Structure 1
Amino acid sequence: METGMVTATWSADLGDPRTVATVIADVRGALEREITAARADFLRAMDPHDQSTETASALAYVSFHTVQQALAEHQRWALKMLGQTEKAEAEAQRAFKTEQDRPWFQYNPTGEAAVTAATMAADTARERVAESLLTARLEQLREQAADRAENAAAVPWAARLSKLAARPLDDDTTW
C-alpha cells in the first residue's frame, strides 16, 4: 500500500479518494504480478528435489525484496515528478538567482563558476522541495486512510444492514 501511496502523491488528485484508490489498486496489481514473476523465477532456479522448509522462507524473502525494490523505484520516480512541479521549479529559480547574486560572482554572474554554482543550488532546492512535497502528500494520504478506516468502523453492522435491506432490488433480480 505504501508503494501505491507514493505513486499517488504525484499521479492522482489527492482530494479525490476514487482516483487515489485506483492508483493504489493499479500499483498493488503490478506488485503482485512482479512478486509472482520473482517467485516463479526463484522456483525455476531451484532443483525440484531440493525444496525444503527453507523454501517458504526464501519465497517470503523474494517477495519482501521485490516490494522493497519497487518502493525505492517508485520513490525515485515520485521525487523526479514532484521536482517538476511549479513549486519546485520556482524554488529552483530563486536558488539559481540567489547564487548568481553572491558577492563573489557580482562581476561575472554568467561566468562558468557562477552558472555551475547556481545550477547546483537550483538542483538542491528542487530536490528539497520534492522531498518536502512527497512527505507532506504521504502524510495527507495516511490521514485520509486513517479517517476512512475510522469512519468505516464507526458505523455498526446493524445500521449498515438496515440501510442495505431498505434498498429496492433490481428488476432483473430473481429469487
Structure 2
Amino acid sequence: MNDLNYLKDNIMSRRWKTKYEQCSQAVRDKLDKLDEMYINEYQLQVIKRKRIYPDIGDIFKICPRENIECYGIVVNNHVNNKNGDDFIVIFVFKSDVDIEQSVKKGIRKEDLLIDPEIVGKEYWTRGYFFNVGHIESKVNNYGFYSIGKRKFFDEYGNDIQEEPSILGTYGVATISGVAYSINQELIIAGII
C-alpha cells in the first residue's frame, strides 16, 4: 500500500496549518464555522454577467459579501493544460494594495489576498468577476505546486525546478473554492 501522507502533509497544507495556528481562538472559531457552511452561505455575489474573455492585465472587481470589494488582475490567459483549454491565471489583492503600484514594483506574495489561481471564464460569464480597468502587466515570479506529483509547475504543466516566490496549488479552482479561500482570508484579516 502506498503512503498517502503527502495528501495531508505537504508544502501547501503546512503553510495553512501554520497560518491557522497563529490566529486567535476567536478567528479559528470563525474559520471552523466557515468549514461547516454551505456554499450558498459564502458564495461570491453576482456583480454583472459579461460574455467576455479577459485579457492579460485586466483588473476585475469581486464582491465576497455585501459592502466588501476585492480586486484582482488577469496574469495569463488562453492557458491550455491537461485539465482543459482557455484557462485564466488570476491574482487577488489585499484591499490596501494599489494594484498598479504593485505591478510596477513587482508583485510580492504579501500583496495577495489568496494564492494564485487557475480559473475558467465562467467567473466572468456568471458575473462573479467584473472588469473595471486594464494595465500593462507582465508577471513571471509565480508557479503552482502539484500535491499529487509533489512538484512545482507553471500553469501549462511544465516543471519548475525551484519553488517560485508566489505559489498556488496546481489545478483548476472551482467557483466555490475561490469563494472559500477569499472568505478564509477576510476572516483572518478581521474584515468579516
TM-score by length of 2: 0.19
- Structure 1 or 2, whichever has the larger Rg, is 1
Point out the structure with the larger strand share: 2
Point out the structure with the larger helix share: 1
TM-score by length of 1: 0.21
